[in-house]
A = this chain, B = another copy of it.
Amino acid sequence: MAAKIISGTEIAAQIREELKKEVSEMKDKSGIIPGLVTILVGKNPASVSYVTAKQKTAHELGFYSIQDDQPEDISETDLLNLIDKYNKDPKIHGILVQLPLPRHIDEKKVLNSIDPDKDVDAFHPVNLGRLMIGGDEVKFLPCTPAGIQELIVRSGFETSGAEVVVVGRSNIVGKPIANMLLQKGKGANATVTVVHTGTKDIASHCKRADILIVAAGVPGLVKPEWIKPGACVIDVGVNRVGEKISEKTGKPVPILKGDVDFDAAKEIAGAITPVPGGVGPMTITMLMKNTVKSAKLHAGIK
């Protein structure tokens, strides 16, 4: 039987509708409007397109949003001062600095200068520490792991008591999602194993996973025989494996492939995310969710 396809595109659209309603109600009741600033240094085309997509979504949801473009040669001090300005700006609840930054700027220093309570990307050590502690301590969850958790829960998979195997130990995906799913509470309480390049037999671990999360960055790494029949498979990999001519535009576009052999895996899994259209569309949406939460926390709304 073919697996259910978990559409990140559809689930993200659903969450955005919920957020839009929440933003509108919040505005009516308390006059609070979530404020997001995206800071872009230079004109890297990929970065421009990411930032544009974030601004577009923020605008659609009714946010107060600022796109702050800075020249490629901005000094580190000036960038830190700019962040400090937004840290102090009561209309701004979320600050996002688009990466990568030019080489002359210390990326870590810049990210760590964002007020943790406005760090809607949740890359700051304080927010990762809060994530590890869990419970009420958590303010923001990093966007991709938060999106993964939503995909699992909204597809109707029970995480409590489930065997979860996470392939990959990146700071952006593997480590945070593992820490999130092993916590007590809803959408979590799973038994979690993290496997990685140092693991002797990755396949044997994958085979016992009720929920398999793959964020290794290796196209087609996970073979169909590694998948437990009926498992929920979340493929975080976005690997460019070539180019093709778009039927729509006639222009070359990258061919994307996940970390899972999708065509074969979907005959065994119970549910699986496609690439593209799975985890990808969730990330920006979770950034918006964090910004709404930040606005509420700053205003003392529960």
Contact = CB atoms under 8 A, between A and B. Distances in A.
A132 to B, nearest CB: 5
Given A126-B125, A129-B127, A133-B128, A191 B182 contact: no
23 contacts: A124-B129, A125-B127, A125-B130, A125-B137, A126-B126, A126-B129, A127-B129, A128-B129, A132-B176, A132-B179, A133-B171, A134-B171, A160-B198, A161-B199, A163-B200, A182-B194, A189-B198, A190-B198, A191-B193, A191-B195, A191-B196, A191-B199, A193-B193
A-B complex: 8 closest residue pairs judged by Cβ atoms? A125-B129, A129-B129, A128-B129, A189-B198, A193-B193, A191-B199, A128-B132, A125-B126
Interface string A4-27: 000000000000000000000000
Contacts of A131: 129, 132
A184 interface: yes
Nearest to A132: B128
Contacts of A129: 124-132
Contacts of A126: 125-126, 129
Interface string A146-190: 000000000000001101000001010001101100111000011
Interface in A85-127: 124-127
A152 to B, nearest CB: 15
Given A124-B129, A130-B125, A198 B175 contact: no
Interface of A: 124-134, 137, 160-161, 163, 169, 171, 175-176, 178-179, 182-184, 189-196, 198-200, 205
Contacts of A184: 169, 198
A179 B196 CA distance: 13
A132 B171 contact: yes
Contacts of A125: 125-127, 129-130, 132-133, 137
Nearest to A136: B108
Nearest to A125: B129
A201 to B, nearest CB: 9
A288 B190 CA distance: 35
A179 B134 CA distance: 14
Contact of A205 (B124, B176, B191, B195): B191
A217 to B, nearest CB: 15
Nearest to A181: B194
A22 B40 CA distance: 47
A143 B205 CA distance: 31
A121 to B, nearest CB: 13
Given A179-B175, A179-B179, A193-B191, A198 B161 contact: yes
A137 to B, nearest CB: 7
